[in-house]
Amino acid sequence: MTIKMKDLILTALFVTTFSMSNVLTAAEWSGVASAEGRYFFKEGDFGQEQSEFSLAIEPEFYHRWEDSDWSIVFKPFVRWDSLDDERSHADIRELMVRYVGDEWELKAGMSKVFWGVAESQHLVDVINQTDFVENIDGEDKLGQQMVVLSTEQDFGLLELFVLPGSRERTFAGEDGRFRFPLPVDQDNPIYADEDGKQRIDGAIRWSKWIGDWDIGLSHFSGTSREPLFVVDQVNPLQPQLRPLYVTIDQTSLDVQATKGAWLWKLEAMSRSGFNEDRYWAAVGGFEYTFFGVTQSGADLGMIMEYQHDSRETLPGGYQQQDVGVLGFRLAMNDIPSTEALLAFSYADGQSFVNLEASRRLGDDWKMVVEGRLFTVDEDKGPFGSLLYPFRNDDYVSITLERYF
C-alpha cells in the first residue's frame, strides 16, 4: 500500500464522515470481510512460496437524504497479503454522489461501470482499470473518477461519461505469484499523451432491450487501460518492465439474445492506437440451460465461446491464436445458493482450466472455492504462449466471507 493510497483513503474517510455527521444515524451500513487461503501446487519460478494467506474488508456506506433526490455511496477496499507486498493494497471502489431527476440522472465521484455479456472475455469493458493483484480473471476493478449524465427514453438508455484521469494497472511484486519474468516498475509508467494520467477521457453508450435482444453500442476515447511494456535497461544487471499507456479510440458492440433456454452472446470492438492500423476483435457464443436436471430442481448450463483478434502478432511478440472455450454452470437452486462454474479454454500450445464454486453458510457467511490450472507447450519457448509466465502457478483457494 503506497503512501499516496493511504492518504487517499484517510482523506476520503475524513471528508465523508465530517460532511455527513448529521445523518449518520439514518445511514445504511453493510459490507463484507473475508479471509482467503491459496495453495500453489509448485514453487514459483523465482522461489515464491506455495502457500498464501490474506485478509480483506470492503464496507459500504449508503445514504439518501429524506425528501430529496440526492444520495451518496462510499465503498473503500483494503487487503493485507502474507506473500506479496503489492497485493497488500487499498482502493476506493466507490465514492459517488447521485442526483435523480424526472428524466435524467447525474453521478459524480469514483465508481465502477461494467459493460459486456460474454463469459470468457470482456472486450468492451474499458472504463475501469483491472485490479490484477486481486485476481487474474479481470473481474476485479479499481475505482475510476467520473462524471456521468444519463437519460432513459423511448429510444433507450443514453449515457455520457467524462473521465478525469486514469488509473495504472496493479501488478504482482517480486515475491508474489502471477508475476512476469522481469519486475514491473509500477512507480514510473510512461504515457503516450502529453497530459499523462491527468488526460480527460470520454465515452458515450447507448443500450436498449428490443424484444428478446439486449443491445449496447459504445465509444471510448482516452488512455488505454491495457498497458504495453518497455524494457528499462538503465541498470543492465537489473532490467525492469515499464508500463506504457497509449491513447486509443474504441468503438464496440455487445449483444445478448434470450431465446427460451438459449442465451446468444457477442462482444465486438474496433480499436486504434496500439499500432498504425486499426484492428478488431470479437468473442461470441452461447449458453444453453438444462432446467431441472435433478429431483431438487438444479439447472445445468453449457457454455461455448470463441475468441478472435485480427492482429497476426500481439504486443510483446506473441502470435495471435484463436481461443475456444467450453464451460458448465451448475445452479443447485437450494436455500444455501450453491453454484459452480467449470470452464476450459484452449488455443494452440496452451490451455486454461478455471473452477469457481460458492455456497452460503447460514445467513451471514459464504464459502468460495477457486481453482486454476495452466498448461503450455514449453518447447515453444516464452513467446509461444501468453500463459507461459504462469505455467507454475496452478492453485486452489478457499475464501470465507462474512457479510454485515
Instruction: Return the half-sphere exposure (C-beta side, CA atoms, 13 A cut-off) of residue 320.
Output: 13
Q: Which class would CATH give 3-403?
A: mainly beta
**Sequence-distant (≥ 6) Cβ neighbours of residue 186 within 8 angstroms:** 86, 168, 170, 171, 243
Digit-coded pLDDT (tens) for 91-123: 999 999 999 999 999 999 999 999 999 999 999
Rounded (5°) CA angle 337-131-91: 95
Are residues 170 and 136 in contact, defined by beta-carbon separation less than 8 angstroms? no
Digit-coded pLDDT (tens) for 184-202: 999 999 999 999 999 999 9
Residue 392 has pLDDT above 80, yes or no: yes
Q: Calculate mean pLDDT across residues 316-320.
A: 78
For residue 6, give the H/E element and its range: helix 3-19
**Phi-psi region at 362: left, alpha or beta (left = phi > 0; alpha = psi -120 to 50):** left
Share of the chain above pLDDT 70, in %: 93
Other beta carbons less than 10 A from residue 124's beta carbon: 26
Q: Residue 271 in 3-state DSSP?
A: strand
Residue 20 has pLDDT above 60, yes or no: no
Q: Which three cell numbers stand for residue 214?
A: 439486449
Task: Note the pLDDT of residue 328.
Answer: 98
Task: Note the pLDDT of residue 236.
Answer: 78
Task: Note the pLDDT of residue 306.
Answer: 98
Provide the residue ranges of all domains of the chain, joining segments of one domain with +. Answer: 3-403
* CA 373 – CA 390 distance, rounded (Å): 9
The alpha carbon torsion through 226, 110, 256, 289 (nearest 10 deg) reads 100
Q: Calculate mean pLDDT across residues 309-331.
A: 90
Q: Which residue pairs, CB below 8 angstroms and at least 24 apart, start in 333-337?
A: 333/296, 333/297, 333/298, 333/299, 334/296, 334/298, 335/360, 336/360, 336/361
Residue 382 has pLDDT above 50, yes or no: yes
Q: Calculate mean pLDDT across residues 128-137.
A: 95
* CA 274 – CA 123 distance, rounded (Å): 15
- This prediction has a pTM of 0.89
Are residues 300 and 329 in contact, defined by beta-carbon separation less than 8 angstroms? yes
* CA 244 – CA 225 distance, rounded (Å): 10
Task: Note the pLDDT of residue 275.
Answer: 78
Task: Note the pLDDT of residue 396.
Answer: 98
Task: Note the pLDDT of residue 286.
Answer: 98
Residue 72 has pLDDT above 80, yes or no: yes
* Confidence bin at 26 (pLDDT 50/70/90): low
Digit-coded pLDDT (tens) for 226-268: 999 999 877 778 889 999 999 999 999 999 999 999 999 999 9
* CA 57 – CA 61 distance, rounded (Å): 13
Q: Calculate mean pLDDT across residues 366-374.
A: 97
Task: Note the pLDDT of residue 76.
Answer: 97
For residue 4, give the H/E element and its range: helix 3-19
From 157-171, 208-222, 264-278, the region with the lowest mean pLDDT: 264-278
Residue 4 has pLDDT above 70, yes or no: no
Digit-coded pLDDT (tens) for 264-311: 999 999 999 987 789 999 999 999 999 999 988 999 999 999 999 999
* Confidence bin at 27 (pLDDT 50/70/90): confident
Query: Mean of the per-residue pLDDT values for the chain?
Result: 91
Task: Note the pLDDT of residue 9.
Answer: 45
Q: Calculate mean pLDDT across residues 42-50.
A: 93
Are residues 32 and 57 in contact, defined by beta-carbon separation less than 8 angstroms? yes
Residue 401: what are its φ and ψ, rounded to 5°?
A: -115, 140
